[in-house]
A and B are shown apart, each in its own frame.
Chain A
Amino acid sequence: MGFVTENPGVLTTIQDEGRYGYEQFGMSPAGPMDLRAFRTANILVGNPSGESALEATVLGPSLRFGRDNVIALTGADMGPTLNGQPCPMYQAVAVRTGDLLKLGAAKTGCRAYIAFAGGLDVPQVMGSRATALQNKVGGWQGRKLAKGDQIGFRAPNPGLALPRTAPVPAPAGREATIRVILGPQDDAFTEEGVNTFLNQPYTVSKDFDRMGCRLEGPVIRHKTDGNIISDGMVTGAIQVPTSGQPIIMLAERQTVGGYTKIATVISADLPLVGQRKTGDVIRFQVVTVEEAHRLWREENRELEELKARLDRPQPAGTTYRVTVNGRTYQVQVVKHS
């Protein structure tokens, strides 16, 4: 047993990079809402970047470890503690059997990730371990974690050489500029409608879950109405139904939709959407497809470089945990020849 869920938090699910290849059958891909933070957590513990890990929402879980392993926390700062001591984020941390990891309410952002060396021991469904809550499949019994759930580690690696750290990104603020590519149905809107969308602020409403994020703001005007013959959908699509209020479609969106889509969030900015909270303000900015591809390549290169740097062979050492004046430090002793 890897850990026992002592407190599940508000909405904690097992995710991997998503279940792809079944959208033609109506299967939503699911996967993490902040892919960048998710991948970083996995890289920190030496996993392939798409390995199964936990996504916590708004108020995180408390986990009691049943096996030694190495973990890493990224994304929203939920004030994590390990056995009551502050647990650093964006670095790999050794945990021992009996340790208690406790997350609280998100101080910045909305979603935190907890990765475990070797990933989580849940079955693959259609090639993926991602929980699809709407479809009640994947992850742990197709649902969010509940008190008492015991999840195993697939291949724990308590001997992973430390330290392993990643740069800590600037905390998510309450205002964000989200870059988009116009279309596929931007021509269903009046010129004034497109201008409204691009120049006015939109507020994140309380209707914000893994399926989508409803925004409130000035009405975006259609030429006729917000209906189309249903067509395919991507994550980040911004639907505008006849009401004129936009909805950003996210990880557990449907695969097809019958509303006009004015624009699509670029892949590199989807994590920014995933870290919004109710009341946050979003502004949209247009970029070209070429620019979006450049940003996406850059982000992927940064993660690859992080992985290459961390996975470079290091001299074998022994990690000790030392407590001085009530504060716990991890100390690694390496023998140099």
Chain B
Amino acid sequence: MSDYTLRYVGDQALLVEFENEISMAVNQKVRALKYDLERQTVPGMEELVPTYRALLVHYDPLTADLDRLKEAVKASAAQMDLSQLPKAVVTEIPVLYEGEYALDLEEIAKIENTTPEEIIRIHSGSDYYVYMLGFAPGHPYTARFENPFSFKRRETPRVRIPGGSIVVQLALSDIIPFDQPCGWNIIGTTPILACDYRKENPFLLKAGQWIRHVPIGKAEFLEIRRQVELGEYQCKTYERGT
């Protein structure tokens, strides 16, 4: 049984909120509620969008009964079982931490008073949890739970950074799917695509899974990029804890 707050979001969605914090414990409730609701048959219920601490429940007012939908949320919140969630999946993200592909690595190492090698070891040494996707298609909001960096954003954001950039601050690290403005430090670059519209399912990641950054060299980077362009590359994926 989990306490929640239910809010109206216009006339086609409800918001189910848990505690007002960014934490694994709270996000797991969001995940469990989504998992349970998807297994109920609720007329008119449409897409469920999970975020840090809340689940947005879209519905079609022409086919949904609002009271019945609220009942379904209540039932799911009461019966959802965090221990019954499917095993978390880890997707490996190959990262080149080098030269022009890691623009801010040296600076980061200076701020943290250590070597670039140690920064790479820290960044690739922990799994990052994917709290949610948003901002751009396929863009994950991820965090690790130990050993955070001490720096935040850069003083002046960059007007444009390339898609594939891996950016970091504190315990957070994001994969930038497409070119965009960004104020975070660039620690490396991945040759894989977080969003590839050529694929039937264009999105590499989903909320509630984990990623692991794996250091690669320049030659491997170019080979993976070649395979990605041909649509042949598959990221290594496994169940967490196996």
Report chain B residues within 8 Å CB of A254: 134-135
**Residues 23 to 43 of chain A near chain B (Cβ within 8 Å):** 23-28
Q: How far is the CB of B101 from chain A (nearest CB, A)?
A: 24
Partner of A266, one of B11, B13, B17: B11
Instruction: Digitize A253-297: 1 where CB-to-B-CB distance is under 8 Å, 0 elsewhere.
Output: 011100001001111000000000000000000000100110011
State whether B197 touches A265 (Cβ < 8 A).
no
User: A24-B49, A229-B20, A255-B49 in contact; A183/B8 too (CB < 8 A)?
Assistant: yes
Instruction: Digitize A215-234: 1 where CB-to-B-CB distance is under 8 Å, 0 elsewhere.
Output: 00000000000000111111
Q: How far is the CB of A183 from chain B (nearest CB, A)?
A: 5
Instruction: Digitize A126-156: 1 where CB-to-B-CB distance is under 8 Å, 0 elsewhere.
Output: 1000000001110000000000000000000
Report chain B residues within 8 Å CB of A266: 10-11
Instruction: Digitize A12-54: 1 where CB-to-B-CB distance is under 8 Å, 0 elsewhere.
Output: 0000000011111111100000000000000000000000000
Partner of A26, one of B53, B62, B139: B139
Q: How far is the CB of A228 from chain B (nearest CB, A)?
A: 8
Q: How far is the CB of A12 from chain B (nearest CB, A)?
A: 22
Closest chain B residue to A296, Cβ basis: B61
Instruction: Digitize B192-212: 1 where CB-to-A-CB distance is under 8 Å, 0 elsewhere.
Output: 000101000011001100000
Q: What is the size, in residues, of chain B's interface with A at 8 Å between Cβ atoms? A: 43
Q: How far is the CA of A231 from the CA of B14 in the complex (A)?
A: 12
Report chain A residues within 8 Å CB of B185: none
Q: How far is the CA of A143 from the CA of B22 in the complex (A)?
A: 37
State whether B207 touches A300 (Cβ < 8 A).
no
User: A20-B47, A181-B8 in contact; A135/B137 too (CB < 8 A)?
Assistant: yes
Closest chain A residue to B48, Cβ basis: A24
Residue A119 lies at the interface, judged by CB distance under 8 Å to chain B: no
Residue A125 lies at the interface, judged by CB distance under 8 Å to chain B: yes
Residue A237 lies at the interface, judged by CB distance under 8 Å to chain B: yes
Report chain A residues within 8 Å CB of B122: none
Q: What is the size, in residues, of chain A's interface with B at 8 Å between Cβ atoms? A: 40
Closest chain B residue to A290, Cβ basis: B66
Partner of B62, one of A184, A232, A300: A300
Partner of B134, one of A234, A256, A265: A256
Partner of A264, one of B10, B48, B54, B207: B10
Report chain B residues within 8 Å CB of A244: none
Instruction: Digitize B90-117: 1 where CB-to-A-CB distance is under 8 Å, 0 elsewhere.
Output: 0000000000000000000000000000
Q: How far is the CA of A23 from the CA of B206 in the complex (A)?
A: 11
Q: How far is the CB of A186 from chain B (nearest CB, A)?
A: 9
Residue A66 lies at the interface, judged by CB distance under 8 Å to chain B: no
Partner of B53, one of A20, A22, A231: A231
State whether B54 touches A232 (Cβ < 8 A).
yes
User: A265-B10, A292-B10 in contact; A297/B53 too (CB < 8 A)?
Assistant: no
State whether A229 touches B53 (Cβ < 8 A).
yes
Partner of A297, one of B58, B61, B139, B202: B61
Closest chain A residue to B204, Cβ basis: A25
Q: How far is the CA of A232 from the CA of B9 in the complex (A)?
A: 9
Residue B166 lies at the interface, judged by CB distance under 8 Å to chain A: no
Partner of A24, one of B12, B15, B47, B202: B47
Instruction: Digitize B176-202: 1 where CB-to-A-CB distance is under 8 Å, 0 elsewhere.
Output: 001000000000000000010100001
Q: How far is the CA of A297 from the CA of B49 in the complex (A)?
A: 25
State whether A256 touches B137 (Cβ < 8 A).
no
Residue B136 lies at the interface, judged by CB distance under 8 Å to chain A: yes
Q: How far is the CA of A20 from the CA of B48 in the complex (A)?
A: 11
State whether B58 touches A234 (Cβ < 8 A).
yes
Residue B119 lies at the interface, judged by CB distance under 8 Å to chain A: no
User: A232-B56, A300-B62 in contact; A267/B51 too (CB < 8 A)?
Assistant: no
State whether A256 touches B135 (Cβ < 8 A).
yes
Q: How far is the CA of A293 from the CA of B14 in the complex (A)?
A: 14
State whether A293 touches B51 (Cβ < 8 A).
no
Closest chain A residue to B46, Cβ basis: A20
Report chain A residues within 8 Å CB of B207: 24
Residue B50 lies at the interface, judged by CB distance under 8 Å to chain A: yes
State whether A289 touches B134 (Cβ < 8 A).
no
User: A231-B56, A296-B61 in contact; A24/B206 too (CB < 8 A)?
Assistant: yes
Q: How far is the CA of A292 from the CA of B63 in the complex (A)?
A: 15
Q: How far is the CA of A266 from the CA of B203 in the complex (A)?
A: 31
Closest chain B residue to A266, Cβ basis: B11
Closest chain B residue to A297, Cβ basis: B62
Q: How far is the CA of A270 from the CA of B48 in the complex (A)?
A: 22
Q: How far is the CA of A123 from the CA of B134 in the complex (A)?
A: 25
Instruction: Digitize B1-21: 1 where CB-to-A-CB distance is under 8 Å, 0 elsewhere.
Output: 000000111111101010011
**Residues 34 to 55 of chain B near chain A (Cβ within 8 Å):** 46-55
State whether A292 touches B11 (Cβ < 8 A).
yes
User: A135-B137, A237-B10, A267-B11 in contact; A296/B52 too (CB < 8 A)?
Assistant: no
Q: A137-B137, A232-B54 are in contact. List 14 more A-B contacts (CB 8 A).
A: A23-B49, A24-B49, A25-B137, A25-B138, A137-B197, A184-B7, A229-B52, A230-B52, A231-B52, A231-B56, A234-B9, A255-B134, A256-B135, A297-B62
